Structure 1
């Protein structure tokens, strides 16, 4: 492109396929615009041109080009963006970047987010549009969730759950009020029915029969005694559609999670809350159901509660290019099952695409806990929740009583305490003699220590791994 052609292009003004930037100091906004153009019909961004159409140019150094290359590497999938430099003859140039979209690879994301171009404006693409474009990729026909569910029809689905999804979707403002109550029509709108035939995603989301064809629609839950899997207090393994499994998991958590008591300001009343924020745990479970690899026939989502931690595992690996550390910061949203994720979103279960793992971290930190740990091991992805403080063990050489565990919890609050202070902090304090017997028993087990003698003695917690 020469200078005359540049002037002709600039004279047309900004539009859906053309945007002006005064300098490369606006590279991030320019990349977002190029992403929107890639998700549309293409376009150009010109650096060295003001929004009013005045050609001012800029000096383009090697450092500028290196920075540009770094920004261009943030597109997923890798995008075709050509570069051209138009010399203005005064030591300055106009840099033109042209986005050449490939419909086969659309939708594109930049720095973890997809963008769209509407007229001369760039904005974040709505999640529903993103998932629709993702489902339209040619390779979507080979994804497990889009394959036909042979031998299954609409009558094999939980139709009340389908209608409940519509009600919740309308309430969330994500489905039109005109959606109606015709189940086949609803399934068709959700992308779960094509020419009267269900796909695998429909069975995962709403199925009522799973064996022997869908053994992977399973949830495994356990509350272990101690910090390993040698003994459990409760263990369950159930089959069901994703929404039923999510409900069962939340019930299990409410039943088995330790509670942390706090005083409600202004009321002077004790309020018991689960040790970990339920919203964070629910988000982690939703991620597991949406992103797991359903092609693994013996796979499942697993929920394990130990004395010192909680873990959620799902079969499948992270998308190519993502590491466990990436899950704590902005990262590309690459759902393994976009149809399944789309229905969770429309139902209002997912609030914002691509931020689930970051939201989990934020909720735990806000509740005063350490950041959860993410990992990938033996073909599975896991998230581990850790408490902020001491959690008394259930078992050492043998089971501990609730009173003994309460004494340990009280001792965890201070470096040392005299007997009378320990007694004053217990909800139903025993006699001094009985409390001393309990402390001596805990000392024998190596959980507490004492210093001093008689009335001047003090008791301390022996810090160690819970178990």
Structure 2
């Protein structure tokens, strides 16, 4: 919709309608004055509950004059919009927010913010009220219409979320090298057709080709540009789980956010654990190095996390917490297909078919001293990953890992650290142990 600046200018000249809303933005110094944030959130919810549309901030809706947003306030205005999408709407909404330059009536370029709002799979409310766009204004939704709308949207969600299109994207959003790595001798030579067959590209409701959630996650080097919570947050703490937070000035040893394509996030997260776990030197049966965690089990856990997490949950990210006595992996989402944690070792269920299908064709490509690659590709089609996590970790530490559901929408995996107290000669960082081992060779 309004793909080029020229098309957007022509639409602005015609004025507001069911798919276009114009808003003047006012600042008092560094403080946002107008429009009211709650009013803007309601307009966004109304469009998402209808057929989607575009809101342009920085335009006088009466005179159709492009006023722009002061350059000093532009970043703040973008932040306010992104925050309200997450904080003011229930459930939060994924929308494209872009800074764009358009010429005013004098031909002078002005900075505006363009919000591309999709027709949502959900029904959104703002401050407890439901709105829908009708013509150039919003109206509160009646109870009868709300019931019908919720039923329609729930049926639309039968299309898997990982194959849904992402607003504001196009074929050019995809990194060709990341898509081409899945090509075989039998693949279609036309790039767009090939991306469609991989479920990385789909036409939206208007027939415009858009990158899908899968395309963003595996076909771009920075998914968070479009899916802000599609990353792994990793923290290594100095103490064990019970004592780590007693000294708040010195409780973190290392912390990183991994924001690459999801397969690269897996590699980076495994390397993070490798760099921050301890290695115990033992004299039992000759000198040997005993790692704190089994890296193959850690790899399986993180692959499962990125492939099975619920990417439709806004404000939730994968969290990897490394303590002296345990590793805790928080994964957003309930278990798929009404599974429970007791069934994880024996049952197989997939939330994101397109993602898991491509991960089953993505090379592991991890070279770490203590990592034994279980196979050539990241995803195991046979469903043996959970058993690898349980058996390998228990074999190392003597304690079986635990799975538990936290609240209504988070799976927590706890892997316990090896505890070689009886014959430990010294404990050093994993990196130091590797250097020492290489020197001995």
TM-score by length of 1: 0.48
Deviation at 1:140, TM superposition (A): 6.9
| Residue equivalent to 1:193 | 201
- How far is 1:340 from its partner? 0.7
In the alignment, is residue 350 of structure 1 matched against residue 373 of structure 2? no
The partner residue of 1:254 within 274, 277, 297 is: 274
Contact 1:140 1:146 survives alignment (8 Å): no
* Aligned match of 1:359: 388
Structure 1 pair 256/143, CA: closer, same or farther in 2 (3 Å)?
Answer: same
Q: Decide whether the 8 Å contact of 1:242 with 1:289 is kept in 2.
A: yes
Whole-angstrom distance in 2 between the partners of 1:156 and 1:222: 31
Which structure: larger Rg? 1
- Alignment of 1:296 with 2:313, yes or no, is yes
CA contact under 8 A between 1:215 and 1:239: conserved in structure 2? Answer: no
Change (3 A) 1:427 1:233: closer
Q: Secondary structure, in 3 states, of the residue corresponding to 1:237? A: strand
Alignment partner of 1:335 out of 350, 358, 368 = 350
Q: Which residue is equivalent to 1:160?
A: 177
Preserved CA contact (<8 Å) 1:258 1:274: yes
- Counterpart of 2:374 in structure 1 is none
After superposition, what is the alpha-carbon deviation per residue over 1:117-150, rounded to whole angstroms, capped at 9, x for unaligned?
xxxxxxxxxxxxxxxxxxxxx9775332121122
Listed as ranges, the matches of 1:375-454 within 5 Å are 375-378=404-407, 379-390=409-420, 409=421, 412-413=422-423
Residue 277 of structure 1: aligned partner: 294
The one-character-per-residue Cα deviations of 1:83-108 (angstroms, maximum 9, x if unpaired) are xxxxxxxxxxxxxxxxxxxxxxxxxx
2:252 — aligned with what?
Answer: 232
Aligned partners of 1:191 and 1:143: how far apart in 2? 11
Deviating more after overlay: 375-384 vs 315-324: 315-324
1:393 maps to what in 2? Answer: none
Q: Distance in 1 between matches of 2:330 and 2:262?
A: 15
Distance, in Å, in 2 between the alignment partners of 1:314 and 1:249 is: 14
* Aligned-pair CA distance for 1:264: 11
Shift of 1:218: 1.4
Contact 2:199 2:354 in 1 (8 A): yes
2:349 match: secondary structure: coil
State how many pairs are aligned.
Answer: 247
Task: Measure how far apart 1:321 and its partner are.
Answer: 3.3
Q: How does 1:183-222 map to 2 (within 5 A)?
A: 183-194=191-202, 196-211=209-224, 213-222=226-235
SS in 2 for 1:142: coil
Q: Does the CA-based 8 Å contact 2:175-2:220 persist in structure 1?
A: yes
TM superposition shift of 1:262: 5.7
Equivalents in 2 of 1:237, 1:369: separation in Å? 31
Matches of 1:283 and 1:139, distance apart in 2 = 32
SS in 2 for 1:349: coil
**What is the alpha-carbon distance in structure 1 between the residues aligned to residue 323 and residue 174 of structure 2?**
35
After TM superposition, the runs of 4+ consecutive aligned structure 1 residues lying more than 6 A away are none
Q: Which runs of 5+ in 2 are unaligned?
A: 1-154, 204-208, 246-250, 363-376, 429-441
How far apart are 1:260 and its partner, in Å? Answer: 3.6
1:309 to 326, 334, 339: 326
SS at match of 1:312: strand
Contact 1:277–1:367 (CA under 8 A) maintained in structure 2: yes
Within 1, Cα distance between the matches of 2:211 and 2:284? Answer: 50
Alpha-carbon spacing, 1:377–1:342, altered in 2? closer, same or farther (3 Å): same
Provide closer, same or farther for how the CA distance between residues 151 and 259 of structure 1 changes in structure 2, counting only shifts above 3 A: same
Shift of 1:352: 2.8
Q: 1:279 to 1:158 in 2, by over 3 A?
A: farther
Cα distance in 2 for partners of 1:188, 1:264 equals: 56
Change (3 A) 1:344 1:427: closer
Q: Kindly tell me: are residues 158 and 356 of structure 1, through their superposed partners in 2, closer, same or farther at Cα, counting changes over 3 Å?
A: same
Deviation at 1:322? Answer: 1.8
Q: Could you tell me the TM-score, scaled by structure 2's length?
A: 0.50
Kindly indicate whether residue 262 of structure 2 is the aligned counterpart of residue 242 of structure 1. yes
- Deviation sequence 1:355-401 (CA, Å, 0-9, x none): 321221122234453221111102210111113425xxxxxxxxxxx
Q: 2 CA distance for matches of 1:282 and 1:165?
A: 21
Give how far 1:342 is off. 1.0
Q: Residues 306 and 143 (structure 1 numbering): CA distance in 2 closer, same or farther, change over 3 Å?
A: same
CA distance in 2, matches of 1:427, 1:386: 17
1:181-224 per-position Cα deviation (integer Å, ceiling 9, x unaligned): 76434322322223543211111222234455311211100001
CA separation in 1, counterparts of 2:387 and 2:169? 37
